């Protein structure tokens, strides 16, 4: 049988159904449900042709052209769907839960799939569901600190010690600075970043606190959803403080695994803010492989920029946390103790 299922009910199932996205490869690449397999009803070119016929001629002629494109692939649809679902029930979706997903579902049902679910409203309904998700109140703990403080490693240690963590920079494939793309794989689309972010939050207990790194709205080319970003800005920031020298050494270890031209390109990316003399000096240091000196110069700019951002916050929502060194395991323990004490006192005060 073919069963309509809402995106909410799809996610509420105890065992999530294997999912097939029948949209074109281009639609899928722009954004898709994490875990969905793309078995495209039409190629990008075929979809464009069907759309042109629909607009310029008629719906019936567009449907007829669609059948001509689909017919040679019918056996392939079944074999590929078996790879996804085996003999289990399977869910299908297209853009709006219309003709593409229903035609695909009927074909599966007629060829041995006993239970085929069609997501009502398709991918569009899913996208609305994602954006609505971030509008709900969340319990957030925000980790701040100057560039080079090792915040990502500290978050990993917090997670290892039982804290809930969402790694924004990991999901963005970007470290959030002019140097942030170095050593990273290509960034997802803005839409896919939001989808992946939703999936990361969905795995967590939303009744308990979740740690995030303090970020600007943009991380490289992707953007934090506005409702989530607003909540981040309204929460207490636990701002770790480490010496510039320790942070410079950390940056050397982080970035000198890449090629020198990449570092030179990144330095040019902050040239206006760094100042002509410092840029020239940074390139000289780079040519001499004096990476520590390059890092110290870069931190002059980043510390000023980050400090301006902190000063624009409500001072009552910034908690400074001096740390002696970069022992991330010990620092995570220190931070957990401090935060839990602060939150207990806050509760008693209220």
Assess contact for 23 and 100: CB atoms under 8 A: yes
CA angle 31, 35, 36 (to 5 degrees): 65
Number of H helices, E strands in the chain: 17, 11
Cα distance between residue 136 and residue 274, in whole Å: 40
239 in helix, strand or coil? strand
DSSP 288: T
**Catalytic member of 12, 94, 258, 319:** 94
Residue that is written with structure tokens 């006192």 in the block: 345
Cα distance between residue 32 and residue 38, in whole Å: 9
19-21, strands of its sheet edge to edge: 2-5, 116-119, 90-93, 19-21, 37-38
94 is catalytic: yes
CA dihedral sign, ordered 196, 197, 201, 202: negative
Assess contact for 94 and 23: CB atoms under 8 A: yes
Q: Which residues are catalytic?
A: 94
């Amino acid at each position: 049988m073919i069963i309509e299922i809402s995106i909410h009910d799809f996610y509420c199932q105890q065992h999530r159904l294997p999912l097939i996205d029948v949209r074109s490869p281009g639609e899928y690449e722009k954004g898709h449900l994490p875990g969905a397999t793309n078995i495209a009803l039409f190629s990008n070119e075929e979809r464009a042709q069907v759309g042109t016929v629909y607009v310029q001629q008629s719906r019936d002629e567009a449907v007829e052209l669609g059948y001509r494109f689909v017919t040679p692939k019918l056996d392939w649809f079944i074999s590929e769907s078996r790879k996804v679902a085996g003999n289990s029930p399977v869910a299908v979706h297209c853009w709006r839960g219309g003709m593409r997903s229903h035609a695909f579902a009927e074909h599966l049902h007629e060829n041995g799939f006993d239970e085929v679910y069609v997501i009502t409203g398709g991918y569009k309904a899913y996208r609305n569901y994602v954006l609505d998700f971030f509008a709900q109140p969340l319990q957030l703990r925000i980790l701040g600190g100057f560039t080079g403080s090792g915040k990502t490693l500290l978050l990993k240690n917090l997670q290892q010690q039982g804290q809930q963590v969402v790694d924004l920079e990991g999901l963005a494939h970007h470290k959030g600075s002019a140097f942030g793309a170095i050593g990273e794989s290509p960034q997802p689309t803005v839409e896919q970043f939001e989808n992946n972010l939703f999936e990361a939050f969905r795995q967590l207990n939303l009744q308990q606190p979740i740690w995030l790194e303090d970020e600007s709205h943009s991380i490289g080319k992707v953007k934090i959803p506005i409702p989530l970003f607003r909540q981040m800005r309204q929460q207490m920031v636990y701002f770790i403080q480490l010496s510039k020298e320790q942070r410079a050494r950390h940056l050397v270890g982080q970035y000198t695994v890449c090629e020198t031209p990449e570092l030179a390109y990144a330095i040019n990316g902050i040239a206006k803010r760094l100042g002509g003399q410092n840029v020239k000096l940074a390139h000289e240091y780079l040519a001499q492989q004096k990476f520590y000196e390059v890092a110290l110069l870069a931190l002059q700019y980043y510390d000023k920029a980050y400090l301006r951002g902190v000063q624009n916050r409500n001072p009552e929502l910034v908690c400074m946390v001096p740390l002696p060194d970069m022992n991330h395991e010990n620092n995570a323990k220190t931070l957990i103790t401090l935060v839990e004490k602060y939150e207990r006192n806050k509760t008693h005060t209220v």
